[in-house]
Structure 1
Amino acid sequence: MTQLWRKPLQAGLVLLDGERPAAATLWGWRCFQVALLLLPASALLAGLLLFVALILGSRQPTAWRDDRVNWLLAGIGLWMLLGCFTASSGWLAWVGLGNWLPFFWAFWAYQPYLATPEARRRVALWLVAGTVPVLGTGFGQMVLGWSGPYELLGGAIVWWIRGGGNPPGRLSGLFDYANITAAWLALSWPLVLAAFLQHCRRWRSGPLAFGLWGISFALVVTQVAEMLATDSRNGWGALVLAVPIVLGPGRWIWLLPLLLLALVPVALATLPGVPAVIQAPLREIVPQSIWGRLNDFNSHGERPLALTRLSQWGTALGLVGERPWLGWGAAAFSVIYPLR
């Protein structure tokens, strides 16, 4: 049995050890890659590996003070600490620092693993590979009727697959809510698109290159379809915005006019205040699933303004205006908003 596992394990370690930046420790580089592969499938296992990589990355030769951005983040962290003393949310403000300060540390400690273009490309491909279970479970959920949750390793891995989606009719895959799935797909979408465009340049180089192009093309098509199926407005926005960013400014001269031409009818069919003589025919062209979702229209009609995102954003901006410097503190919005 030991011999059976030894060769695959050795091959896996050889794969992980490739293109290691000089500043990265061997085990830190290994843990960082595996963590990114497992991140959507198991936050627990990925988190443990990322913590190991964080500790090992903190032993890098580059001093923390040598990066100006670290000084900026340190200043922001001190300002957040000051805000906790006047926060209306009390002790929750101090707990809320845990959502921010560790990431400031990670910004520096993970730099050894991203020090070279080759390392960044490899990291991006691991994130793309980690997206495959999300896409696969989304397809199984919406097409094959899979329904979980499914647990592995005593609950270390939990896939919250609900038949028909969660909320119903919205693809959520292995996550427990469609908007979370859309957030992950929005993160990986630029990387999937970039990988596809790279393989487009050399798909005629041989059978292997053509096979990689076919895989990347399938990922692009599946990713676009599932981002649309999440019915998430943020996901839809990321789907569009990533295209000019990935293609680069050299193609904007023709790409941006095309995007504008495609988005103007959607905007006119969605935005309130557009004359009915213009909006009505456009709503016949633009699917209701798009313009209705964008302006909070559902099967029961338009939602009350107070329940829409626009209203929530307006309230949030008003709260920022009242205390622009030190804020209200973490977790204060859920307490203050219902009172407004």
Structure 2
Amino acid sequence: MNRFSLEMKALQPHPDPNFQRHWNVVQIGLFLLPFSAFLGGTSILMVAIAIWVRKFSSLSREPVNRGFAILGLVMIAAAWFADDRANAFLGLFNFLPFFFTFAALADLIRSPKQLTQIAWIWVITSIPVTVIGILQLLNFGGMPSLLWGLISWKVFAGGNPVGRMASVFEYATILANYYAIVFILSLGLWLQERRKLLIGIVLLNAIGLILTNSRNVWAIAVLACLAFALYQGWKTIVAAVGAITGIILGAAFAPDSIALPLRKIVPRFFWARLNDQMYSDRPVNQLRSTQWKFAWNMTEQRPLTGWGLRSFARLYTEQMQLWIGHPHNLFLMLSSESGLPAAVMLYGLVGWIMAQGIWIWKALSPTNRPIYFTFWIAFLACTLFSFLDIALFDARINLMGWVLLAAIWKMEESGEWGVRLRGS
């Protein structure tokens, strides 16, 4: 425990001393990020700008960075053809700065030890986030403002929506995406280091993600547990998780002859949420299937350029008489608002990085593979989350996702990288 306290007091050294100051600022920014998009995000963006200034020539020659640059141009062109250009160009800020930041961070974060440090930073911040969320459900709320308004939280008493924990992220869905990341990181750290403190944090995060009442993050958490159990070769745990999942799904979706007995042992909180009986009177225009069909119809009408970023909400409101901010699927949002070429390019580039990650994992030493696997699974969780919901409109969650992607790209054994950088 003393060793842990010492580690968390000091900023981690960077493999290349020339980038120590940049890495220090990034570590501080990552710690502040869950609590302040301005403080955390601005710190990391400033480092990204500094790295681009120093390494523009090499960064601009890399194929993946060129791919994101081309994607950015495609999205700008699509915005130019939008009916509402102002809103479409405003929507670009949810993408272009993050492409830019990804390229810089991927060059800065290459050591497995850096991945461990990032994981510890975010896992530690999950403790106050969860405590605030639990207090919120106990009807403590408010809008505290710290540091002259640079940190401003909207903590709605009772949750937002009511009954669903949102904590400092204002809305339960955004908090759920946060837990998709920190729960996996805490679980991966515990499997790697086996510290008692981490058991408590894993359980705390598990309680938090359950209280978000998000079916999406529940499923992701179960899949993540199965992935780690398979990775560790724990067949008994795989069987146990599979059996528990089967019982819960049976209580939700099986015929009454099977479901009714299972519902005596499975809390209604779970099965009624999964099969939507908790909200059985939901209008058709609120269903995700309706939103997906609407978004695909938009795509079919303008497959190349889409209707412009931020256009779905306006068009859906006009036709369905209900405001929905996005179609709850990132691919469909992009295809309908920026066109199919942009959607395919984004998923193609990310898919390529994820695929290359398998080969990077194989090239790492057995000691460094677990933390890399953890980050790979954490980003995969973000990708899966985006198929049923979209949280990138919150800059904190958006940036966390890009940090994960940057961390699994260009990964090398720390010793070899340090020598190569100092000799370059």
TM-score range, shorter chain: 0.7 to 0.9
Deviation at 1:223, TM superposition (A): 0.5
Of the two, which has the highest radius of gyration? 1
Other-structure match for 1:234: 216
C-alpha contact (below 8 Å) 2:45/2:101 kept by paired residues: no
2:152 aligned counterpart, secondary structure: strand
Other-structure match for 2:165: 171
TM-score by length of 2: 0.66
After superposition, residues 1-340 of structure 1 pair within 5 angstroms as 15-16=10-11, 18-22=12-16, 25-61=19-55, 63-143=58-138, 145-200=139-194, 213-247=195-229, 249=231, 251=233, 258-271=240-253, 275-298=255-278, 301-338=280-317, 339=319
CA distance in 2, matches of 1:250, 1:221: 19
CA distance in 1, matches of 2:311, 2:294: 13
2:148 aligned counterpart, secondary structure: helix
Deviation at 1:270, TM superposition (A): 3.5
The CA deviation string for residues 191-250 of structure 1, in whole angstroms up to 9 with x for no partner, is 1111111222xxxxxxxxxxxx22111101111011101112222122222223445546
Deviation at 1:331, TM superposition (A): 0.7
Q: Which runs of 5+ in 1 are unaligned?
A: 1-10, 201-212
Structure 1 pair 119–227 and aligned structure 2 pair: CA distance change class (3 A): same
Query: Which range is displaced more, 257-266 or 179-188?
Result: 257-266
The residue type paired with residue 52 of structure 2 is S
CA distance in 2, matches of 1:25, 1:104: 21
Structure 1 pair 312–27 and aligned structure 2 pair: CA distance change class (3 A): same
Query: Which range is displaced more, 280-289 or 228-237?
Result: 280-289
C-alpha contact (below 8 Å) 1:185/1:227 kept by paired residues: yes
C-alpha contact (below 8 Å) 2:127/2:204 kept by paired residues: no
The CA deviation string for residues 104-140 of structure 1, in whole angstroms up to 9 with x for no partner, is 1111111233111111221221121222220221233
Structure 1 pair 252–314 and aligned structure 2 pair: CA distance change class (3 A): farther
Greater relative contact order (CA < 8 Å, ≥ 6 in sequence): 2
The residue type paired with residue 109 of structure 1 is A
Deviation at 1:167, TM superposition (A): 2.4
CA distance in 2, matches of 1:70, 1:15: 32
CA distance in 2, matches of 1:52, 1:160: 26
CA distance in 2, matches of 1:266, 1:87: 45
CA distance in 2, matches of 1:72, 1:170: 39
Structure 1 pair 235–34 and aligned structure 2 pair: CA distance change class (3 A): same
2:213 aligned counterpart, secondary structure: coil
1:263 aligned counterpart, secondary structure: helix
The residue type paired with residue 88 of structure 1 is D
CA distance in 1, matches of 2:227, 2:8: 34
CA distance in 2, matches of 1:302, 1:256: 36
CA distance in 2, matches of 1:218, 1:99: 35
The residue type paired with residue 166 of structure 1 is N
Deviation at 1:257, TM superposition (A): 5.2
Query: Which range is displaced more, 74-83 or 329-338?
Result: 74-83
Other-structure match for 1:203: none
C-alpha contact (below 8 Å) 1:320/1:327 kept by paired residues: yes
Query: Cα RMSD between the aligned structures?
Result: 2.8
CA distance in 2, matches of 1:314, 1:264: 30
The residue type paired with residue 336 of structure 1 is L
Deviation at 1:28, TM superposition (A): 1.4
The CA deviation string for residues 265-294 of structure 1, in whole angstroms up to 9 with x for no partner, is 4334445xx644444444444332222222
C-alpha contact (below 8 Å) 1:60/1:112 kept by paired residues: no
Percent identical pairs in the alignment equals: 31
The residue type paired with residue 309 of structure 2 is A
1:243 aligned counterpart, secondary structure: helix
Deviation at 1:23, TM superposition (A): 7.4
C-alpha contact (below 8 Å) 2:159/2:167 kept by paired residues: yes
TM-score by length of 1: 0.81
Aligned residues: 313
Other-structure match for 2:348: none
C-alpha contact (below 8 Å) 1:27/1:53 kept by paired residues: no
Structure 1 pair 289–170 and aligned structure 2 pair: CA distance change class (3 A): same
